[in-house]
Amino acid sequence: MARSGVQFEDVQRAIDVLLKRGEAPGIQKIRDVLGTGSFTTISEHFRQWREQRNANRDQPTWQDVPEPVEALVHSLWEQAQKHASDGLSHYREEADRLVEQAREQAQRARREAEDALQREAAINDHWSQAQARLQEQSALIARLETAHQVAEQREAELSQRLADADGQLDAAQERLHDRETEHHDALKKRDERWGEQLRQEEQRHEAAEARLMALLDDARQEKQRSEKSHQQRIEALEKRLAEADKDRQAIRRALSDEQASHRETQWALTRAEDALSESERRVRQHADDQAENDKVVTQLRERLQDAEARLARVNLPPFVY
């Protein structure tokens, strides 16, 4: 049932306006005259008008008929009266059948055209939604690419810091080794020097043994102090080495986290690219569907024009007063 709004009388008045202009009534033209109304409501009223016109086709309505149409009808009437014969009844039945066939074809063509227009509107809406989704996916990909670049830059910085820490650790280990070597050499030389002095003192005088023993004790204490100092320096270096190792481990953990983040970003970018590919495929599919619908609409319009041309070539039946 038609919705409230455009009424049958409104559609009938719009059809009368179109007939006065000499134009064939159609749903789009009726809507253009009314300036409002849905295609479904206008189509239902227009179908009702055609049914009434077909039911009253033998009852001429001369009111509101354009003068050229009226003159043409009178001319056709006079010609029909002149050429009337015994086969008039058969001619009328055949003409009625042809007219009815033409009208049915025209109605089917119009309904198909209306359906095609509605499908085209739905496809256009879907096309707009697909374009909006495509724009959203493009923006998401741009953001992911930016995040990917930032992650790569952060990874390069952490790699450089790790390389610097490894270099510092190697340098510290090398310095520690050099100092240990120098200390051992110094101790060896000092022991040799003190041994030589001890031998010289023993050779000089046995009475200086006590003094020599005291000197030896002093040397031993000095050696212990030196070894203690050396041990403290070694512990300090080992502490610095442990701290450097902790820094390196922290940098490696940060690098591992950044690599994990980079993998997640790469995965999200891959998903976005897949979604973009799917959106592009849908857009191409919608474009193909729209092209097919345009082709169908063109064929329907050609069939409608052909039906209207055939209807124009059919002689009208004589009017009965």
Centre a 10 Å sphere on the Cβ of residue 45 and count the other Cβ atoms it contains.
Answer: 23
List the chain domain ranges.
1-72, 133-298
Q: What is the pLDDT of residues 275-310, one digit of tens each?
A: 888 978 988 998 898 888 889 889 888 988 888 888
Say if residue 41's pLDDT is above 90.
Answer: yes
Distance separating alpha carbons of residues 267 and 273, to the nearest angstrom: 10
Q: What are the pLDDT digits (tens) for 231-255?
A: 888 788 788 878 878 888 986 888 7
Reading the block at residue 110, the tokens are 């119009």
Burial category of 29 from C-beta neighbours within 10 Å (exposed 0-12, middle 13-18, buried 19 and up): middle
Rounded to 10 degrees, the C-alpha dihedral 275/278/284/286 comes to -90
Per-residue pLDDT at 8 exceeds 90? yes
DSSP 234-289: HHHHHHHHHHHHHHHHHHHHHHHHHHHHHHHHHHHHHHHHHHHHHHHHHHHHHHHH
Cβ proximity of 319 and 142 under 8 Å: no
pLDDT mean over 51-73: 64
What would the two tokens of residue 75 be? 């001319």
pLDDT > 90? residue 18: yes
* Distance between CA atoms of residues 67 and 133, nearest Å: 57
Inter-CA distances, 134 with 50, 138, 168, 290, Å: 46, 6, 51, 18
> Quick check: 122 pLDDT over 70?
yes
Instruction: Supply the pTM of this predicted model.
Output: 0.28
Work out the average pLDDT over 211-224: 77
Q: Report the percentage of the chain scoring pLDDT > 90.
A: 12
Calculate helix-pair angle for 88-204, 39-55, nearest 10 degrees. 170
pLDDT tens for 171-200 read 878 887 888 888 788 888 888 887 888 688
